[in-house]
Amino acid sequence: MSDQMFQTFDVTTRPDQGPPRLAALRQELTREGLDGFLVPRADAHQGEYVAAGDERLAWLTGFTGSAGFCAALMDVAGVFIDGRYRTQVKQQIAEVFTPVHWPEVQLSDWLREQLPAGGRIGYDPWLHATSQMRALTTALAPHGISFVQCDNLVDRVWPDQPAPPMQPVTAHPLAYAGVPAEEKIATLAAELRSAGQQAAVITLPDSIMWLLNIRGSDIAHNPVAHGFAILHHDARVDLFMAAQKLADVTGHLGGCVQIHPPAAFLAAVAELAQIDNAAIAGDLSSLPQIVADQLGDSLAPAGDPCMLPKARKCAAEIDGSAAAHLRDGAALVETLAWLDAQPPGSVTEIDVVKHLEAERRKDPNLRDISFDTISGTGPNGAIIHYRVSEDSNAPLEDGQLLVLDSGGQYLDGTTDITRTLAIGTPPKDAQQAYTRVLQGMIAMSQLRWPKGLAGRDIEAVGRVPLWQAGQDFNHGLGHGVGAFLSVHEGPQRLSRAGTVPLEAGMILSNEPGYYREGAFGIRIENLLVVQPATMLASGDADREMLHWRTLTYAPLDRRLIVAEMLTKTERDWLNAYHAAVAAKIGPNVTRPAQRWLSAVTAPL
């Protein structure tokens, strides 16, 4: 594999480029008679990750976070970001843009304050989900503010916009997928018939990949291909994807999948709407508004039929993920052992990234990293989704912490692991904060809970130790993870917004943290899979329970742990976990790494 697979196309703007680009966009607003234009970080498929040519938000504003949007008006341009990006956005955008704390400030409220009655906001109907536009229209119509569909005004002023990706699609082996595509299609088609639905429109790339047991590479670090699909109640699938991508999988797709050019998608959707009394399932949270317009009254807000089955991993997917995590843990241990041997100040953030990615490349099952590796020391570690560059690259100095958040895309699984490491002698307040974060991670790892609870019902367990010290963090406790698919996968979440009940087979991250702006950051992350809990010895349980199985194995930095703060239960968990790390990872690393691992996993 070449180094190219780990590089991304940088379309971001420098601060000095922001003003002229915004000025050019405003000229287009004047031509169209509009008062503003919405610029989301989104594409027509409404996934979290986008191709280079869809990085309109980054190109216009310089903000590179994975979530956010800009509302560009004639006299103000708000960049809406959540708590993960409050520090980052201040470093990336020019003064012509105004950071807006979202969701505390809702776009509808902000627009109502900025615009008079009669205000007209343009938007690209391919880039905004149906539920979003319905909510905005409902909130602002009484105030005389309307939304106008138009072509994308950013595209008009972006002269060197990258072309859409056309990477080849490959078959995902049954040994890793676990269930044949024909069986998935038949099962979901039966569910459509049972619900009285004629078809389901699917726009999320990872859903299409899962359904058809295929993988792509249109998006950096995500093994997906752009396309649309219609699943019919009679177990037929219309796949709308460029034929040149599918040359290697036409035999794999079989007779039940018909291939069409993407340009035929809207017409096919409109044709569905002409069927008498048809109910066409769609996920309002991801279905582009222009598709909903074509469906009209036939749209049934039934959700994406692939979402829950994809989230509930089968045995082959869980086994593959567990195996991938052991090999991934070995690559990380080799890197940590190397790093520990380097004197403070002798290596940089980028040095760590390169070494870790080189270790991962040794695995023949690796296809890519699962996201841009986060390697942030000192103040950079306090930027939750920090991405190191040649300009920001900092040496690892004595007394600092290093947040190392990384993962790999392997044929048999997707990994995501964070370890916070001491460089030299860590400050006492950082040790105390780290110990609280560790306590939260342990508490969630040990949790048993009644079946039927969602992420929002249990995620506070991982925050309690921090809360008791008057501390917290501005991101969810955890996200869903795919099986050689997206590293961020819904609908399962360990967050206050996680409303979907957790079910056996779902893989989620457990990643509490703490961030002190200008000083240091802390995050610890393991991946866990939901499993049915065994009956307690007392035998008097009166409801079905779930618990976690840990997938991630790598040592936690004992230099950052204040042992006196741990309870006996927490200490026992930590020692047992480290013993498992030594047993599972030790045989798979070099002799020097084995010696290092033996020392750092000794009982506390």
Give residue 415's pLDDT. Answer: 98
Q: How far is CA 66 from the centre of its chain?
A: 8
Cis preceding-peptide flag for 587 (omega within 30 of 0): no
Of the pLDDT bands very low, low, confident and very high (cuts 50, 70, 90), residue 14 is low
Distance CA 232, CA 198 (A): 6
Which residues on neighbouring strands pair with residue 280, listed in sequence order? 199, 299
- Here the tokens at position 210 are 């899962």
Q: 146 CB contacts (<8 Å, ≥6 apart)? A: 119, 120, 121, 137, 140
Tell me the per-residue pLDDT of 256-278, one tens digit each, with 9 for 90 and over: 999 999 999 999 999 999 999 99
Distance CA 174, CA 9 (A): 32
Average pLDDT over residues 98-126: 93
> In a 3-state reduction of DSSP, which class is residue 114?
helix
Is the whole model's pTM more than 0.75, yes or no?
A: yes
Q: Taking a C-beta distance cutoff of 8 angstroms, is the pair 419, 546 a contact? A: no
3-state secondary structure 46-66: CCCCCCHHHCHHHHHHCCCCC
Q: Taking a C-beta distance cutoff of 8 angstroms, is the pair 395, 347 a contact? A: yes
Angle at the Cα of 234 from the Cα atoms of 229 and 239, rounded to 5 degrees? 20
Which residues on neighbouring strands pair with residue 201, listed in sequence order? 230
Average pLDDT over residues 185-207: 97
Q: What percentage of the chain exceeds 90 in pLDDT?
A: 88
Q: 467 CB contacts (<8 Å, ≥6 apart)? A: none
Q: 354 CB contacts (<8 Å, ≥6 apart)? A: none
Give residue 211's pLDDT. Answer: 98
Distance CA 227, CA 206 (A): 10
Give residue 348's pLDDT. Answer: 98
Quote the mean pLDDT of the chain: 94
221-to-72, 166, 211, 496 alpha-carbon distances in Å: 30, 15, 20, 27
Asked if residue 298 has pLDDT above 50, the reply is yes
Which of 59, 40, 37 shows the shortest CA–CA distance to 48?
40
Asked if residue 12 has pLDDT above 60, the reply is no
- Here the tokens at position 3 are 């180094």
Which of 522, 493, 519 shows the shortest CA–CA distance to 507?
493
Give residue 409's pLDDT. Answer: 98
Determine which helix (DSSP H) or strand (DSSP E) holds 532, and give its type and residue range: strand 526-532
- Here the tokens at position 530 are 């939901």
Give residue 531's pLDDT. Answer: 98
Tell me the per-residue pLDDT of 309-345, one tens digit each, with 9 for 90 and over: 999 999 999 999 999 999 999 999 999 999 999 999 9
Asked if residue 3 has pLDDT above 50, the reply is no
Angle at the Cα of 457 from the Cα atoms of 453 and 461, rounded to 5 degrees? 120
Upper half-sphere CA count for residue 51 (Cβ side, 13 Å): 21
3-state secondary structure 435-504: HHHHHHHHHHHCCEEECCCEHHHHHHHHCHHHHCCCCCCCCCCEEECCCCCCCCEEEEEECCCCCCECCC
Walk me through the domains of the chain, giving residue ranges and CATH numbers: 3-157 (3.40.350.10), 170-310 (3.40.350.10), 312-599 (3.90.230.10)
Sign of CA dihedral 335, 336, 340, 343: positive
Number of H helices, E strands in the chain: 20, 28
Q: Which of 16-30, 53-67, 532-546, 564-578 has the highest mean pLDDT?
A: 564-578
Tell me the per-residue pLDDT of 133-148, one tens digit each, with 9 for 90 and over: 999 999 999 999 999 9
Which of 85, 136, 88, 129 shows the shortest CA–CA distance to 112?
136
Determine which helix (DSSP H) or strand (DSSP E) holds 116, and give its type and residue range: none
Give residue 47's pLDDT. Answer: 77
Task: Look up tokens 């726009």; give the residue.
Answer: 203
- Looking at residue 288, what DSSP letter applies? B
Give residue 13's pLDDT. Answer: 56
Give residue 536's pLDDT. Answer: 65
Task: Look up tokens 């869980």; give the residue.
Answer: 318
Asked if residue 4 has pLDDT above 90, the reply is no
Which of 235, 560, 540, 241 shows the shortest CA–CA distance to 428?
560
Which of 489, 314, 343, 509 shows the shortest CA–CA distance to 412?
314
Tell me the per-residue pLDDT of 347-365, one tens digit each, with 9 for 90 and over: 999 999 999 999 999 999 9
Count of beta carbons in the 10 Å neighbourhood of residue 49: 21
Q: Taking a C-beta distance cutoff of 8 angstroms, is the pair 5, 35 a contact? A: no
Distance CA 590, CA 359 (A): 12
314-to-223, 246, 322, 434 alpha-carbon distances in Å: 19, 26, 12, 35
List the alpha helices (DSSP H) in 195-314: 205-212, 250-253, 265-273, 289-295, 307-311
Q: Taking a C-beta distance cutoff of 8 angstroms, is the pair 375, 450 a contact? A: no
Which residues on neighbouring strands pair with residue 348, listed in sequence order? 395
Asked if residue 27 has pLDDT above 50, the reply is yes
Residues in the chain: 604
Give residue 22's pLDDT. Answer: 94
- Here the tokens at position 443 are 């508490």
Which residues on neighbouring strands pair with residue 72, listed in sequence order? 37, 77
Which residues on neighbouring strands pair with residue 326, listed in sequence order? none
- Here the tokens at position 65 are 């976070």
Task: Look up tokens 């991946």; give the residue.
Answer: 527
